[in-house]
Structure 1
Amino acid sequence: RIKRTMWSRRAQEYEAKINSGDLILLSEVVRDLHRGETQPEQSYSERQLYECAIDRMVREVAAINKVDRGVALDEILGTLTRARTRQAAKAAKDAESENDNKEEGKDEAAA
Protein backbone atom coordinates (compact mmCIF):
# COMPACT_ATOMS: atom_id res chain seq x y z
CA ARG A 1 0.00 0.00 0.00
CA ILE A 2 2.16 2.81 1.26
CA LYS A 3 5.43 2.89 -0.59
CA ARG A 4 8.70 3.80 1.06
CA THR A 5 9.76 6.34 -1.56
CA MET A 6 10.52 10.01 -1.10
CA TRP A 7 7.49 12.06 -0.07
CA SER A 8 7.78 14.40 -3.07
CA ARG A 9 7.54 11.44 -5.45
CA ARG A 10 4.63 9.86 -3.57
CA ALA A 11 2.87 13.25 -3.49
CA GLN A 12 3.16 13.48 -7.28
CA GLU A 13 1.76 9.95 -7.62
CA TYR A 14 -1.12 10.77 -5.29
CA GLU A 15 -1.90 13.95 -7.20
CA ALA A 16 -1.91 12.04 -10.49
CA LYS A 17 -4.32 9.49 -9.01
CA ILE A 18 -6.59 12.24 -7.66
CA ASN A 19 -6.71 13.95 -11.07
CA SER A 20 -7.11 10.69 -13.02
CA GLY A 21 -10.89 10.58 -12.71
CA ASP A 22 -10.66 6.92 -11.68
CA LEU A 23 -12.66 6.27 -8.50
CA ILE A 24 -10.53 3.23 -7.62
CA LEU A 25 -7.30 5.25 -7.78
CA LEU A 26 -8.97 8.04 -5.81
CA SER A 27 -10.05 5.59 -3.12
CA GLU A 28 -6.46 4.30 -2.86
CA VAL A 29 -5.29 7.83 -2.06
CA VAL A 30 -8.02 8.28 0.55
CA ARG A 31 -7.16 4.91 2.11
CA ASP A 32 -3.42 5.60 2.17
CA LEU A 33 -3.68 9.13 3.55
CA HIS A 34 -6.51 8.58 6.05
CA ARG A 35 -5.38 8.86 9.65
CA GLY A 36 -7.22 7.28 12.55
CA GLU A 37 -7.63 8.80 15.98
CA THR A 38 -4.52 7.08 17.34
CA GLN A 39 -2.22 7.88 14.43
CA PRO A 40 0.12 10.87 14.31
CA GLU A 41 -0.97 14.06 12.59
CA GLN A 42 -0.38 14.59 8.90
CA SER A 43 2.00 17.09 7.43
CA TYR A 44 0.48 20.13 5.76
CA SER A 45 0.98 18.79 2.22
CA GLU A 46 -0.29 15.34 3.16
CA ARG A 47 -3.39 16.90 4.71
CA GLN A 48 -3.98 19.03 1.58
CA LEU A 49 -3.84 15.96 -0.67
CA TYR A 50 -6.13 14.01 1.67
CA GLU A 51 -8.67 16.84 1.79
CA CYS A 52 -8.68 17.12 -2.00
CA ALA A 53 -9.09 13.35 -2.43
CA ILE A 54 -11.80 12.97 0.20
CA ASP A 55 -13.72 15.94 -1.22
CA ARG A 56 -13.74 14.44 -4.70
CA MET A 57 -14.68 11.03 -3.36
CA VAL A 58 -17.52 12.51 -1.28
CA ARG A 59 -18.91 14.27 -4.36
CA GLU A 60 -18.74 11.05 -6.39
CA VAL A 61 -20.37 8.89 -3.71
CA ALA A 62 -23.06 11.52 -3.09
CA ALA A 63 -23.88 11.69 -6.80
CA ILE A 64 -23.92 7.91 -7.26
CA ASN A 65 -26.06 7.23 -4.18
CA LYS A 66 -28.20 10.38 -4.61
CA VAL A 67 -27.52 11.55 -1.05
CA ASP A 68 -26.13 14.78 0.31
CA ARG A 69 -22.41 15.20 0.90
CA GLY A 70 -22.67 14.88 4.67
CA VAL A 71 -24.21 11.42 4.37
CA ALA A 72 -21.59 10.39 1.81
CA LEU A 73 -18.77 11.61 4.06
CA ASP A 74 -20.19 9.65 7.01
CA GLU A 75 -20.36 6.50 4.85
CA ILE A 76 -16.77 6.86 3.68
CA LEU A 77 -15.36 7.62 7.13
CA GLY A 78 -17.36 4.74 8.63
CA THR A 79 -15.93 2.36 6.04
CA LEU A 80 -12.39 3.60 6.67
CA THR A 81 -12.81 3.20 10.44
CA ARG A 82 -14.18 -0.35 10.10
CA ALA A 83 -11.34 -1.27 7.75
CA ARG A 84 -8.72 0.06 10.19
CA THR A 85 -10.35 -1.86 13.05
CA ARG A 86 -10.34 -5.11 11.05
CA GLN A 87 -6.75 -4.49 9.97
CA ALA A 88 -5.62 -3.89 13.56
CA ALA A 89 -7.44 -7.02 14.79
CA LYS A 90 -5.83 -9.12 12.06
CA ALA A 91 -2.37 -7.74 12.87
CA ALA A 92 -2.87 -8.53 16.57
CA LYS A 93 -4.03 -12.06 15.75
CA ASP A 94 -1.07 -12.60 13.41
CA ALA A 95 1.36 -11.34 16.05
CA GLU A 96 -0.21 -13.65 18.64
CA SER A 97 0.11 -16.64 16.28
CA GLU A 98 3.73 -15.75 15.58
CA ASN A 99 4.48 -15.54 19.31
CA ASP A 100 2.77 -18.89 19.89
CA ASN A 101 4.90 -20.46 17.14
CA LYS A 102 8.08 -19.05 18.70
CA GLU A 103 7.10 -20.44 22.10
CA GLU A 104 6.44 -23.88 20.58
CA GLY A 105 9.86 -23.76 18.91
CA LYS A 106 11.52 -22.98 22.25
CA ASP A 107 9.65 -25.82 23.96
CA GLU A 108 10.69 -28.29 21.24
CA ALA A 109 14.32 -27.12 21.38
CA ALA A 110 14.39 -27.52 25.17
CA ALA A 111 13.01 -31.09 24.96
Structure 2
Amino acid sequence: MTKTKKSEFRANEYVVYPAHGVGQIVSIEEQEIAGLKLELFVISFEKEKMTLRVPTNKAVTVGMRSLSSPEIVDKAMATLKGKARVKRAMWSRRAQEYEQKINSGDLLAIAEVVRDLHRSDDQREQSYSERQLYEAALERLTREVAAVAGGDEVIAQKQVNDVLVSRAA
Protein backbone atom coordinates (compact mmCIF):
# COMPACT_ATOMS: atom_id res chain seq x y z
CA MET A 1 0.00 0.00 0.00
CA THR A 2 1.95 3.01 -1.23
CA LYS A 3 -0.01 6.10 -0.39
CA THR A 4 1.63 9.30 -1.49
CA LYS A 5 1.67 12.35 0.74
CA LYS A 6 0.25 14.45 -2.12
CA SER A 7 -3.27 13.17 -1.54
CA GLU A 8 -3.28 14.41 2.05
CA PHE A 9 -3.77 18.12 1.36
CA ARG A 10 -5.21 19.83 -1.71
CA ALA A 11 -5.25 23.31 -3.20
CA ASN A 12 -8.02 25.58 -1.81
CA GLU A 13 -8.26 23.42 1.32
CA TYR A 14 -8.09 25.06 4.75
CA VAL A 15 -5.39 23.64 7.00
CA VAL A 16 -4.00 24.35 10.46
CA TYR A 17 -0.31 25.18 10.71
CA PRO A 18 0.64 24.92 14.41
CA ALA A 19 2.58 28.17 14.75
CA HIS A 20 0.15 30.30 12.70
CA GLY A 21 -3.34 28.79 12.93
CA VAL A 22 -5.79 28.44 10.05
CA GLY A 23 -4.55 29.12 6.54
CA GLN A 24 -5.63 28.19 3.04
CA ILE A 25 -3.52 26.25 0.55
CA VAL A 26 -3.56 28.52 -2.50
CA SER A 27 -1.45 26.28 -4.66
CA ILE A 28 1.06 23.48 -4.81
CA GLU A 29 4.13 24.54 -6.74
CA GLU A 30 7.55 23.26 -7.61
CA GLN A 31 10.62 25.36 -6.89
CA GLU A 32 14.30 24.75 -7.24
CA ILE A 33 16.12 25.49 -4.00
CA ALA A 34 19.88 24.92 -3.70
CA GLY A 35 19.82 22.76 -6.81
CA LEU A 36 17.01 20.54 -5.50
CA LYS A 37 13.51 20.44 -6.92
CA LEU A 38 11.02 20.79 -4.12
CA GLU A 39 7.26 20.53 -4.18
CA LEU A 40 5.74 23.14 -1.87
CA PHE A 41 2.34 23.93 -0.41
CA VAL A 42 1.75 27.67 -0.71
CA ILE A 43 -0.39 28.60 2.29
CA SER A 44 -2.02 31.99 2.68
CA PHE A 45 -2.85 33.43 6.10
CA GLU A 46 -5.12 36.26 5.04
CA LYS A 47 -5.43 38.06 8.38
CA GLU A 48 -1.66 38.22 8.88
CA LYS A 49 -1.10 39.06 5.19
CA MET A 50 1.42 36.24 5.19
CA THR A 51 2.28 33.46 2.76
CA LEU A 52 4.06 30.34 3.92
CA ARG A 53 5.74 27.76 1.70
CA VAL A 54 5.97 24.30 3.22
CA PRO A 55 7.67 21.38 1.48
CA THR A 56 4.95 18.78 0.80
CA ASN A 57 7.13 16.02 2.26
CA LYS A 58 7.57 17.97 5.54
CA ALA A 59 3.96 19.13 6.05
CA VAL A 60 2.97 16.31 8.40
CA THR A 61 6.31 16.38 10.25
CA VAL A 62 5.87 20.07 11.14
CA GLY A 63 2.38 19.34 12.44
CA MET A 64 0.28 20.72 9.60
CA ARG A 65 -3.17 19.17 9.72
CA SER A 66 -6.63 19.35 8.24
CA LEU A 67 -9.32 21.31 10.05
CA SER A 68 -10.80 19.66 13.13
CA SER A 69 -13.94 17.61 12.73
CA PRO A 70 -17.24 19.07 13.99
CA GLU A 71 -16.98 16.55 16.89
CA ILE A 72 -13.64 18.02 17.97
CA VAL A 73 -15.13 21.53 17.74
CA ASP A 74 -17.97 20.36 20.02
CA LYS A 75 -15.42 18.93 22.47
CA ALA A 76 -13.53 22.25 22.40
CA MET A 77 -16.77 24.11 23.18
CA ALA A 78 -17.43 21.68 26.04
CA THR A 79 -13.90 22.37 27.32
CA LEU A 80 -14.74 26.10 27.41
CA LYS A 81 -17.68 25.34 29.71
CA GLY A 82 -15.41 23.68 32.26
CA LYS A 83 -13.99 25.30 35.35
CA ALA A 84 -10.70 27.14 34.84
CA ARG A 85 -7.73 25.10 36.01
CA VAL A 86 -4.96 27.44 37.02
CA LYS A 87 -1.82 25.86 38.40
CA ARG A 88 -0.07 27.49 41.31
CA ALA A 89 3.18 27.71 39.34
CA MET A 90 4.97 30.99 38.67
CA TRP A 91 3.43 33.06 35.88
CA SER A 92 6.48 32.70 33.62
CA ARG A 93 6.19 28.90 33.75
CA ARG A 94 2.41 28.98 33.15
CA ALA A 95 2.83 31.50 30.31
CA GLN A 96 5.33 29.14 28.66
CA GLU A 97 2.87 26.25 28.93
CA TYR A 98 0.03 28.37 27.51
CA GLU A 99 2.24 29.44 24.61
CA GLN A 100 3.16 25.81 23.88
CA LYS A 101 -0.52 24.83 23.88
CA ILE A 102 -1.40 27.69 21.50
CA ASN A 103 1.43 26.80 19.12
CA SER A 104 0.68 23.06 19.28
CA GLY A 105 -2.18 23.61 16.85
CA ASP A 106 -4.31 21.27 18.99
CA LEU A 107 -7.80 22.78 19.17
CA LEU A 108 -8.59 21.20 22.55
CA ALA A 109 -5.35 22.51 24.09
CA ILE A 110 -6.13 25.99 22.69
CA ALA A 111 -9.64 25.79 24.17
CA GLU A 112 -8.06 25.00 27.57
CA VAL A 113 -5.98 28.18 27.35
CA VAL A 114 -9.07 30.25 26.48
CA ARG A 115 -10.98 28.64 29.37
CA ASP A 116 -8.15 29.17 31.89
CA LEU A 117 -7.42 32.78 30.93
CA HIS A 118 -11.00 34.01 30.37
CA ARG A 119 -12.09 36.70 32.82
CA SER A 120 -15.65 37.79 33.37
CA ASP A 121 -16.30 41.45 34.07
CA ASP A 122 -16.39 41.02 37.84
CA GLN A 123 -13.07 39.20 38.07
CA ARG A 124 -9.65 40.71 38.66
CA GLU A 125 -7.79 42.49 35.88
CA GLN A 126 -5.57 40.57 33.50
CA SER A 127 -1.92 41.47 33.10
CA TYR A 128 -0.78 42.55 29.65
CA SER A 129 0.88 39.20 28.94
CA GLU A 130 -2.20 37.25 30.13
CA ARG A 131 -4.38 39.30 27.82
CA GLN A 132 -1.99 38.75 24.87
CA LEU A 133 -2.01 34.96 25.36
CA TYR A 134 -5.79 34.93 25.87
CA GLU A 135 -6.41 36.92 22.69
CA ALA A 136 -4.01 34.76 20.66
CA ALA A 137 -5.73 31.57 21.86
CA LEU A 138 -9.19 33.04 21.36
CA GLU A 139 -8.37 34.09 17.81
CA ARG A 140 -6.96 30.66 16.89
CA LEU A 141 -10.01 28.93 18.38
CA THR A 142 -12.49 31.29 16.72
CA ARG A 143 -10.83 31.00 13.31
CA GLU A 144 -10.88 27.23 13.32
CA VAL A 145 -14.48 27.10 14.61
CA ALA A 146 -15.42 29.50 11.79
CA ALA A 147 -13.51 27.53 9.13
CA VAL A 148 -15.11 24.23 10.19
CA ALA A 149 -18.57 25.84 10.16
CA GLY A 150 -18.07 27.37 6.73
CA GLY A 151 -16.23 30.60 7.28
CA ASP A 152 -18.14 33.25 9.24
CA GLU A 153 -15.81 34.47 12.01
CA VAL A 154 -18.37 36.88 13.48
CA ILE A 155 -20.82 34.03 14.11
CA ALA A 156 -18.04 31.81 15.50
CA GLN A 157 -16.91 34.62 17.81
CA LYS A 158 -20.45 34.99 19.13
CA GLN A 159 -20.72 31.22 19.69
CA VAL A 160 -17.47 31.11 21.66
CA ASN A 161 -18.39 34.24 23.61
CA ASP A 162 -21.85 32.89 24.47
CA VAL A 163 -20.28 29.72 25.89
CA LEU A 164 -17.79 31.71 27.98
CA VAL A 165 -20.49 34.10 29.27
CA SER A 166 -22.87 31.24 30.12
CA ARG A 167 -20.07 29.58 32.09
CA ALA A 168 -19.47 32.72 34.14
CA ALA A 169 -23.17 33.18 34.93
- The alpha-carbon deviation at position 67 of structure 1 amounts to 3.9
Number of equivalent positions: 85
Identity %: 59
Q: Which amino acid aligns with 2:101?
A: K
What is the Cα deviation at residue 16 of structure 1?
0.2
The match for 1:21 among 105, 108, 112 is 105
Residue 44 of structure 1 aligns with an amino acid whose one-letter code is Y
Q: Partners in 2 of 1:10 and 1:31 — Cα distance?
A: 14
CA RMSD of aligned residues (A): 0.8
Any idea what the Cα deviations from partners look like across 1:40-61, whole Å, max 9, x if unmatched? Answer: 1110000000010001001000
Structure (1 or 2) with the greater strand fraction = 2
TM-score by length of 1: 0.74
TM-score, length of structure 2 as denominator length: 0.49
- Determine the C-alpha separation between the residues in 2 that align with 1:66 and 1:76: 15
**Is 1:38 the counterpart of 2:115 in the alignment?**
no
| SS of equivalent residue, structure 1 residue 36 | coil
Letter in 2 for 1:29: V
Where does the alignment leave 5 or more consecutive residues of structure 2 unmatched?
Answer: 1-84
Among residues 49, 58, 63, which one is paired with 2:142 in the alignment? 58
Q: Which has the larger radius of gyration?
A: 1
Q: Give deviations 1:56-104, integer Å, cap 9, x for gaps.
A: 001000001114111111100100111222xxxxxxxxxxxxxxxxxxx
Q: For structure 1, which runs of at least 5 residues remain unmatched after alignment?
A: 86-111
Q: Secondary structure of 2:89's match? A: coil
2: CA distance, partners of 1:36 / 1:69: 22
Paired AA for residue 79 in structure 1 = V
Distance 1:37 1:78 in 2: 14
* Aligned mates of 1:68, 1:8 — CA distance in 2: 35
Q: Which has the higher helix share?
A: 1
Q: Which runs of 4+ in 1 moved over 4 A?
A: none
